[in-house]
Amino acid sequence: MKIADKQFVKFMSRFDNCPFEMELNGEKYEIGYGEPHFSVIFHHMPDIKDMVTSTSIALGEAYMDGELEIKGNLYEALNSFLGQIDKFSTDHKKLKALLFSSRGKKNQRAEVSSHYDIGNDFYSMWLDDSLSYSCGYFESEKDTLHDAQYNKVDRILKKLNLREGMSLCDIGCGWGFLLIQAAKKYKVRGTGITLSEEQKKKFEERIKEEKLEDYVDVMLLDYRDLPDTGLKFDRVVSVGMVEHVGRGNYEEFMGCVKSVINKGGLFLLHYISALKEYPGDAWVKKYIFPGGVIPSLREIMHIAGDMRFYTLDVESLRRHYSRTLLCWNENFQKHKDEVRKMFDERFVRMWEMYLCACAASFRNGVVDVHQILFSSDVNNEVPMNRWY
């Protein structure tokens, strides 16, 4: 066996919690003990130096380029590897520019645009009809993705204890489904802000289709510019947006919410969270969410207390997000040929890896997702039980 092959086999042998077969240069190796659950075939072996610099990028790019093939279920294979993510190597010094990008407005807008502005037609293929791009809520095993997304929004709106005539701001409003539902169900006045021109365009179309011009509007606006608008709201919600803020900007984000919410107002923050403070996965940052950082639950709670945000409710939706992602991947698989024509084969492989890897990450507890309900200062008017 060549020295390079021997080094590579030794490196891969660390992932032995779940048995698998590895094929390299025509030779087969069994990793772990027991019947292999899947096979990993390397048509071209990644450089061991690249594996040490970033295991995530080296294996991710190998899969994207077709140099790595999985025989078996991709999700199951990733579920095995990501369950051992502590065995991955990441050289933070060499990857400093990637892991710790600028938190300035211009750069963050470009980062957000790189993900969300790749085309409404693309997202429409694999999201449900609500165009909700965040964790659904499955009330039963029979629930479809559509059911789960409607459940999720309904759950959020109930937690916000909305009443007719109230004002609601959605920071990172996406394609607008939450605000549309809030206006239709509760007759509240909603304002959405986003950095994505594609999302804003589609949201405006939906407002007209629903004839909600008197109730809902959307602005292309950075959250840091919210205080300058002079607007005040009874309720604020943010779903899946704080992950783009960046470590070091969380205080400013929470401060901006504080500046626009009325005293006693309710703020619901729904976001992907982590047990500890990590800079993020290198492959995800390079190809999927540039600049994305996942806050830990304790980071947010610490800042909230300092700003007199009283915590009313905290709920984990981790397993719901794993199932949501698997639903998205199932839809994506049905449209691979169309996506391939829009982009290319490398993009297709990248996106299916993203969806399956994220599903596995939630399944393994590498990441979580929390819904936190705060009141700005004391609010004694909210019903005392959760299911109001």
Listed in sequence order, the residues at least 6 apart from 339 whose beta carbon sits closer than 8 Å to its beta carbon are: 122, 125, 332, 347, 348, 351
Residues in the chain: 388
Supply the DSSP symbol for 135.
-
Q: How far is CA 143 from CA 22, 320, 327, 334, in A?
A: 37, 11, 11, 20
Q: Report the SS3 class of residue 262.
A: strand
DSSP states along 287-341: HT-TT--PPBHHHHHHHHHHTTEEEEEEEE-HHHHHHHHHHHHHHHHHTHHHHHH
Element (DSSP H or E) covering residue 68: strand 68-71
- Parallel, antiparallel, or unpaired: how do β-strands 20-24 and 27-31 relate? antiparallel
Question: What's the N-to-C CA distance of the chain in angstroms?
Answer: 66
CA 293, CA 172: separation in Å to the nearest integer? 15
CA 354, CA 328: separation in Å to the nearest integer? 11
Residue 121: CB atoms within 10 Å: 10
Whether 356 is catalytic: no
CA 129, CA 142: separation in Å to the nearest integer? 18
Supply the DSSP symbol for 90.
B
Check 135, 169, 327, 358 and give the catalytic one. Answer: 358
Residues annotated as catalytic are 358
